């Protein structure tokens, strides 16, 4: 059990519509009260943190990370990935199932929880895969995995191309109340693609993936969610068309949520020419038109959450070149300042709106008891210095990998303190 007293901070708790200067008390690992410091300290031995000039928010939640363990420990482990999460201000992460072996049975869900209990700095909530071994041929035991703690299901990295299987998965979602997290790419349209299809891909002579590859599957899965009543969550939205389809689906009352990642609302596909494989991911970086649409979607609530799609790879793998290097970039340690610098400072989101997309909203999507500073809630807290300006230094990363396009970028609004259940991590 950990006790903590955070004094004189700007407390922002979107779930409770709080945005005011005050003191926050954590007792026995739970949010206890806002009140008088001396009265609290009479009966508690607490760690005291002066948050004058700082912002105090619920512990940040990243609902889309790849921790790589088991099977790819040369890229990342649950220990190193959650260390990077804590360094970035995250107290909870939800990890994808595309490990080796794939997380596709109840026993493997339990294994992730076991490893996390032993090695993780943050809370870890695992996803199970939708199909066995991510092969797209047969559904997993989603009922069994949900019963032992899977917070949702995803074949992230590949699309479930069989529409009948996706319909069945969404029907189970409607029955049991978990989200189906979909990676939307029509693989027959993006075979061998390494970047966005457009002027830059043609200039570089590289195979590109058209926006239609994403839009077609987003449209299909929204229709299947509408048919079944299941909860569809669209991962890493990257196209203007997908934003529009999601907006239309929500207007029709489809049980539909979506997320966007910083790289998809900051970088265009021209970054590939500058940074090579550190700008290679699927879905790929798109155009300024797509960036503008994603920012509008974040602003108007079409896109519910902000996630990182933290995808660490060893330097030797990213050195293989655009044709052979794996997709993805790291994101846990840069997300918060990227959100502040590129969404909050320009006025696209208020700080409270941005924090909601990284706390209470992902908690509600995943059905986890996090993301709020309500009395009695778990004492997960992030303290932010919105005035701190630092350069991204990959050499100081807590992750095993350093594959980021944001190296040496000067950003504002960094994590100051991360507390999990009242204990500094």
Q: Which residues are catalytic?
A: 309
Task: Give the separation between CA 253 and CA 355, rounded to whole angstroms.
Answer: 25
For residues 204-232, b (16+ Cβ closer than 10 Å) or e, as one string? eebebbbbebbbbbbbbbbbbbbebebbb
Instruction: Output DSSP code: residue 110.
Output: H
Considering Cα of 364, then 366, then 367, then 371, what sign does the dihedral take?
Answer: negative
Asked whether the CA dihedral 32, 33, 36, 37 is positive or negative, the reply is positive
**Given the DSSP bridges, would you call strands 30-33 and 18-27 parallel, antiparallel or unpaired?**
antiparallel
- Whole-angstrom Cα distance, residue 349 to residue 343? 6
The strand pairing partners of 153, in sequence order, are 128, 180
CB 163 within 8 A of CB 224: yes
Q: Are 39 and 399 in contact (CB under 8 A)?
A: no
Strands 123-126 and 90-95: parallel
Q: DSSP 3-state assignment of 336?
A: helix
Give me the DSSP letters along 140-205.
--HHHHHHTT---EE-TTS----HHHHHHHHHHHHHH--EEEE----TTTSTT--EESSHHHHHHT
Q: Which residues pair with 11 in a beta bridge?
A: 20, 56
The most distant pair of C-alpha atoms in the chain lies apart, rounded to whole Å, by 70
Report residue 19 as tokens.
């945005």
Q: Would you say 231 and 173 are in contact if contact means Cβ atoms under 8 Å apart?
A: yes
Structure tokens at 377: 């809630």
């Amino acid at each position: 059990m950990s006790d903590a007293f955070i004094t004189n901070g700007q407390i922002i708790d979107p779930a409770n519509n709080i945005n005011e200067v005050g003191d926050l008390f954590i007792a026995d690992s739970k949010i206890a009260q806002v009140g008088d410091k001396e009265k609290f300290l009479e009966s508690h031995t607490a760690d005291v943190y002066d948050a004058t000039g700082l912002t105090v928010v619920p512990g940040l939640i990243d609902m889309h990370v790849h921790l790589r363990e088991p099977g790819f420990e040369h890229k990342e482990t649950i220990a190193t990935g959650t260390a990077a999460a804590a360094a970035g201000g995250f107290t909870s992460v939800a990890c994808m199932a595309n490990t080796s072996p794939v997380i596709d049975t109840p026993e493997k869900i339990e294994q992730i929880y076991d490893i996390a209990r032993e090695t993780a700095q943050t809370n870890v909530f695992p996803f199970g895969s939708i199909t066995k071994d991510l092969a797209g041929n047969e559904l997993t035991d989603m009922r069994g995995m949900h019963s032992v703690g899977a917070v949702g299901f995803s074949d992230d990295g590949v699309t479930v191309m069989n529409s009948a299987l996706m319909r069945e998965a969404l029907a189970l979602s409607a029955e049991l109340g978990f989200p189906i997290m979909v990676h939307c790419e029509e693989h027959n349209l993006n075979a061998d693609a390494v970047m966005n299809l457009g002027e830059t891909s043609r200039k570089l002579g590289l195979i590109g993936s058209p926006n239609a590859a994403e839009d077609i599957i987003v449209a299909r899965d929204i229709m299947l969610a509408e048919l079944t009543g299941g909860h569809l969550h669209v991962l890493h939205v990257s196209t203007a068309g997908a934003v529009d389809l999601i907006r239309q689906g929500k207007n029709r009352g489809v049980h539909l949520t979506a997320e966007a990642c910083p790289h998809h609302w900051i970088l265009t596909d021209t970054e590939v020419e500058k940074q090579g494989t550190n700008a290679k991911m699927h879905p790929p970086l798109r155009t300024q038109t797509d960036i503008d649409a994603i920012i509008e979607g974040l602003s108007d609530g079409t896109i519910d959450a902000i996630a990182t799609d933290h995808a660490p790879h060893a330097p030797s793998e990213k050195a293989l070149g655009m044709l052979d290097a794996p997709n993805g970039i790291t994101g846990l340690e840069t997300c918060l300042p990227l959100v502040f610098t590129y969404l909050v400072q320009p006025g696209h989101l208020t700080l409270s709106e941005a924090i909601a997309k990284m706390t209470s909203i992902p908690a509600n999507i995943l059905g986890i008891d996090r993301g709020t500073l309500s009395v009695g809630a778990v004492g997960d807290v992030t303290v932010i210095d919105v005035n701190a300006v630092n350069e991204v230094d990959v050499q100081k990363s807590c992750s095993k990998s350093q594959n980021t396009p944001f190296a040496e970028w000067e950003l504002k609004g960094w994590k100051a303190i991360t507390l999990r259940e009242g204990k500094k991590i």
